[in-house]
Amino acid sequence: MEKMNVDWKLEQERVDHVLEEIDQKVKKLDTNIGGLKKDIVELRKDFWNDITVNLDEPDDVIETFTSIKQQAELIGERERSHKQIHKQLKTLDRLKYSPYFGRFDFLEDDEKEEEKVYIGIASLLDGTDENFLIYDWRAPISSLYYDYYPGPAEYNTPFGTIQGDMSVKRQFIIKSGEIKSMFDTGVTIGDEMLQEVLGNNSNTQMKSIVATIQKEQNKIIRNEKSRYLIVQGVAGSGKTSAALQRVAYLLYRYREQLNSSNIMLFSPNPLFNSYVATVLPELGEDNMQQSTFQEYVEYRLGKTFKVEDPFTQMEFLLGDVDHPDYETRLTAIHYKASIGFKDRIDKYIEALGTEGLLFKNIKFRGKIIISKDEIKNTFYSLDRSNSIPNRMSILAEWIGKELFKIERKERGKDWVTRESELMDKAEYLAFYQELQRKRQSSEETFDDFELEQKLIAKEIVRKHFKPLKQAVKRLEFLNVQGVYRQLFEGISSLKPFEGWEQVCRFTVERIKKKELTYEDATPYLYLQDQLEGKKSNTLIRHLFIDEAQDYSPFQFEYLKQLFSNCRMTILGDYNQAIYAHSMNAPTLLSPEIFEEGKYERVELTKSYRSTKEIVEFTKCLINGGEMIEPFNRPGLLPTLTEVGNESELHDKIVERVNQLQDEGHQTIAIICKTAIESKEAFDALQKKLPVRVMDNETYSFDKGILILPAYLAKGIEFDAVIIYNGSNDQYGREYERKLFYTACTRAMHELDIFTIGKRTMLMNEVPKENYYLK
């Protein structure tokens, strides 16, 4: 105890010293930034004064141009430095609040002196710029902190492995420059600290976990070897957290080659996007690009179709089982997600190289000017050794030329004369100015009125042809819709399975109505891109896919093509595979869909989110749950309350919510099965509680009482979770097991299940002592 007090005093003195150093740095930077700001303001003010503008002779023009360029570069450079310093100041500000969270002492083999390594969210050098007062948590040496306990230890650097011996390993909680707690730790870092962090109330925004990264998570964060890193992690095991720290790590490790615009995160819904948006800025990094697969689909197909989103698909499948299309859809969803369907499309594409492509007539002013047959004949007359996309671009060029011929002929037509007469003053003036401009840059002379009329005609026709030409460039003459439909219309009459006819009928009917189901979106885009030869995205160099169990093998093939040079970090949990296509079928998490030797797979089995009691309960809800290991944070048993009717249900929920709030819980989620049930719950509860309902249009959430369907709660956590109606009527099918599990695992501290009538059979395997029957 005595020693600890002395240590504490010494450590606080060091913190004070570091804070002084930070202050010195801030002062220095403040002076620099002040000077820079003044420079920029003055440079901007004098921009034109310092430039010699002379446009008389070509040489002078070049000189003027160079002078402008130089001046602009000068400002640009100052502005970049300004931004840089601004960023440094922000980081120093964070360090000032909490300079570091860990320390270990390391004696490198063959060295005499032990180094005391302090770890924080950024590196800090002392006044001589030689010694590290703080090491960035991402520096090579810092990995020792996450990977070893005192004893022999080693770490990798770009120049080789360094070996040595670690002695002290210490953790700190420092707030406002004051050490609040300090522990010497052993095997795992931060049992005490984790207890403290995890015991806190949940937040509406995810937090960074740098101070308490666990060894197995560190493996994910620092992995550099494989093209595809697959992480199967149980609910609450820190997959999303590890993914975000990994983004920060990559940005640090490859800071010369990589910036935040080269990294993209695909997340399950827009709400999740905002939930994770603060983690990287908290670590002093810019956020990566974020999107959802659906956003991409909408961007590509939203103008052509009413595209169904995955939530609507889910509502359908969770809803009326007796719907006449129910079984057909289920079959279609499974098949269209599979590699079998992709193979079929690949064969189809091969055949399309010889026959079967469909085109659209090109019309101008209501008349066909190039017919679809003409286009088709031209396409199939092209050398077949060229790929379809190559032939498509040759075809587009041919159409472009044909259009130009037609365009020229149109100029003399009556409609053009009429239009030129109808031109209003403003339009005419615009044309006239354009002509003047052309006159300056052209050899032609325009004295003649007739010539001017001709040019006006040319401009009018050009204007009308412009959208047509642009559409041709976008290959819109190809009838992708028809080609896709044809797949289900008997051209390839091979029946892959029983019930295929119904799937065909259903698909064609939908497409005719300009509707595209979610399961059709990926195959449709795949087919389109294969025919058109879409270039893959080269900007994104690292793609993160969270909730990867929601992606089908077909989607993965598609993503691989879309991001062909990209590394991928793929994270998910097969026990949370709640979409129909991923149930009892391979998903993006399944090793068999990856090429041997190209991927690495990491498993996380420890759950950090929920109390031990909640994890012991939820692990019994799924098959194979034995391997889930709770982090040892004690709490109360989950409860089960059976009631007789809805009004009793609402009374009990109100009572419980009030109690939870009194206990200090700030985010309380009432989780329903579907959006429809959420709406009903909201209507009933809103008179009695300040509740908010969330749907797939909700982009962020605040603390309080929330009602939402389980599929929207994915990836997110709450202090307390109330299952709205966990009865056997609601969750009576095997199909709903993973949904129920996902809902229950959102709880950090408290889980209460209410049921009208008999509880769900999905709880059959849960031992009675794992919950409290009210």
Ligand X SMILES: Nc1ncnc2c1ncn2[C@@H]1O[C@H](COP(=O)(O)OP(=O)(O)OP(=O)(O)O)[C@@H](O)[C@H]1O
Could you count the other beta carbons within 10 Å of the beta carbon of residue 177?
Answer: 16
Separation of alpha carbons 449 and 238, rounded Å: 76
Binding of ligand X by 237 (CB under 6 A): yes
C-alpha separations of 346 from 342, 564, 583 in Å: 6, 18, 25
Select 542 or 609, whichever has its Cβ closest to ligand X: 609
What is the rounded distance in angstroms from the CA atom of residue 702 to the CA atom of residue 690?
Answer: 12
Instruction: Among 91, 123, 185, 212, indicate the residue that binds ligand X (CB under 6 A).
Output: 212
If one asks whether residue 230 binds ligand X (CB under 6 A), the answer comes out as: no
The answer to whether the annotation marks 234 as part of a ligand binding site is yes
CA angle 49, 55, 58 (to 5 degrees): 130
Among 21, 216, 308, 717, binds ligand X (CB under 6 A): 717
Residue 169 or residue 485: which is nearer to ligand X going by CB? 169
Cα–Cα distance, 283 to 95 (Å, whole number): 11
Q: Quick check: 236 binds ligand X (CB under 6 A)? A: yes
**Is residue 687 within 8 Å of 704, Cβ to Cβ?**
no
- Please tell me whether residue 569 binds ligand X under the rule CB under 6 A: no
Min CB(149)–ligand X separation in Å? 16
Is residue 772 a contact partner of residue 743, using CB atoms and an 8 Å limit?
no
Closest Cα to residue 139, out of 248, 40, 228, 63?
A: 248
Q: Which of residues 315-354 bind ligand X (CB under 6 A)?
A: none
Task: Say if CB 672 and CB 710 are below 8 A apart.
Answer: yes
Does the footprint of ligand X cover residue 750 (CB under 6 A)?
Answer: no
**What type of residue is 557?**
E
Residue 268 Cβ vs ligand X, minimum distance, rounded to whole Å: 9
CB of 669 to ligand X, least distance (A): 13
Report strand pairing: 606-607 vs 629-630: parallel
- Select from 194, 461, 589, 720 the one that contacts ligand X (CB under 6 A): 194
**Which long-range CB contacts under 8 A does 621-629 form with residues at least 24 apart?**
621/737, 621/740, 621/741, 621/744, 621/762, 621/763, 621/765, 621/766, 622/575, 622/737, 622/738, 622/741, 624/575, 625/575, 627/234, 628/234, 628/235, 629/605
Stretch that binds ligand X, among 91-99, 235-243, 592-600, 701-709 (CB under 6 A): 235-243
Looking at the Cβ atoms of 192 and 476, the one nearer to ligand X is: 192
Does 269 help bind ligand X (rule: CB under 6 A)? no
Rounded to 5 degrees, what are φ and ψ at 85? Answer: -65, -40
Asked if 756 touches ligand X (CB under 6 A), the answer is: no
Work out how close the CB of 94 gets to ligand X at its nearest, in angstroms, rounded to a whole number: 18
**Sign of the Cα pseudo-torsion (281, 206, 97, 155, in order):** negative
Closest CA to 754 of 613, 645, 601, 604: 645
Rounded to the nearest whole angstrom, what is the least distance from the CB of residue 218 to ligand X in the complex?
9
For 342, the token pair is 């992709």
Cα–Cα distance for residue pair 714/240, rounded to 1 Å: 11
Closest approach of Cβ 630 to ligand X, in Å? 12
Q: Write out the DSSP string of 574-589.
A: GGG--SGGGTTS--TT
> Given the complex with ligand X, which of 240 and 569 has the nearer CB atom?
240
* Closer by beta carbon to ligand X, 205 or else 371: 205
Q: Number of residues in contact with ligand X, rule: CB under 6 A? A: 23
Nearer to ligand X, 101 or 293 (CB): 101
Distance separating alpha carbons of residues 517 and 511, to the nearest angstrom: 9
Q: Where does this chain touch ligand X (CB under 6 A) — which range of 232-240, 262-270, 690-698, 762-770?
A: 232-240
* List of residues 6+ apart from 581 with CB closer than 8 A: 333, 334, 336, 337, 519, 552
173 touches ligand X (CB under 6 A): no
Pairing state between β 151-157 and 160-175: antiparallel
Q: By CB under 6 A, tell whether 179 contacts ligand X.
A: no
Ligand-binding site membership of 664 (annotated): no
Q: Which is nearer to ligand X, 205 or 537 (CB)?
A: 205
Is residue 197 within the footprint of ligand X (CB under 6 A)? yes
Candidates 92, 209, 621, 739: give the one binding ligand X (CB under 6 A): 209
Using H for helix, E for strand and C for coil, what is the string for 366-403?
Answer: CEEEECHHHHHHHHHHCCCCCCHHHHHHHHHHHHHHHH
235 binds ligand X, rule: CB under 6 A: yes
245 touching ligand X, by CB under 6 A = no
Binding of residue 99 to ligand X (CB under 6 A): no
Of 169, 239, 329, 633, the residue at the interface with ligand X (CB under 6 A) is 239
713 is in an annotated binding site: no
Binding of residue 241 to ligand X (CB under 6 A):
yes
Indicate whether 120 belongs to the interface with ligand X (CB under 6 A).
no
Closest to ligand X by CB, 203 or 639: 203
Task: State in angstroms the smallest separation of the CB of 327 from ligand X.
Answer: 31
What residues are paired with 721 via a beta bridge?
A: 669, 751
| β 115-120/102-108 pair status | antiparallel
Structure-token pair, residue 360 = 């659209």
Q: In terms of CB distance, is 173 or 197 closer to ligand X?
A: 197
Alpha helices by DSSP H, listed for 513-620, are: 518-532, 553-562, 612-618
Distance CA 536, CA 539 (A): 9
Tokens matching residue 658? 């009030």
Q: What are phi and psi of 285, to 5 degrees?
A: -115, 155
Note whether 654 binds ligand X by CB under 6 A.
Answer: no
Q: How far is the CB of 571 from ligand X (least distance, A)?
A: 7
Cα separation, 173 vs 723, whole angstroms: 36
- Spatial distance between the Cα atoms of 57 and 186, rounded to a whole number of angstroms: 77
**What mask of x and - would describe binding to ligand X in positions 572 to 611, judged by CB under 6 A?**
-x----------------------------------xx--
Residue 217 touches ligand X, criterion: CB under 6 A: yes
In the complex, residue closest to ligand X by CB: 238
To the question of whether residue 356 is assigned a binding role by annotation, the answer is: no
Q: For residue 630, state whether it binds ligand X (rule: CB under 6 A).
A: no
Stretch that binds ligand X, among 234-242, 299-307, 368-376, 514-522 (CB under 6 A): 234-242
Question: Is 233 marked within a binding site?
Answer: yes
Pick 209 or 288: Cβ nearer ligand X: 209
Q: Tell me whether residue 416 or residue 747 sits nearer to ligand X (CB atom).
A: 747
Q: Quick check: 633 binds ligand X (CB under 6 A)? A: no
Based on CB atoms, which residue is closest to ligand X, 485 or 633? 633
Q: Does 207 contact ligand X by CB under 6 A? A: yes
Residue 524 backbone dihedrals phi, psi, to 5 degrees: -60, -50
Find out whether 236 is annotated in a ligand binding site: yes
Query: Binder to ligand X among 240, 269, 725, 760 (CB under 6 A)?
Result: 240
Judged by CB under 6 A, does residue 545 bind ligand X?
Answer: no
Which residue from 213, 399, 672, 762 is in contact with ligand X, where contact means CB under 6 A? 213
Any idea what DSSP says for residue 666? -
Q: Is residue 238 a contact point for ligand X (CB under 6 A)?
A: yes
Residues forming the annotated binding site for ATP?
A: 233-240
Q: Specify binding-site residues.
A: 233-240
Which parts of this chain interact with ligand X (CB under 6 A)?
194, 197-198, 207, 209, 212-214, 217, 233, 235-241, 573, 608-609, 715, 717, 745
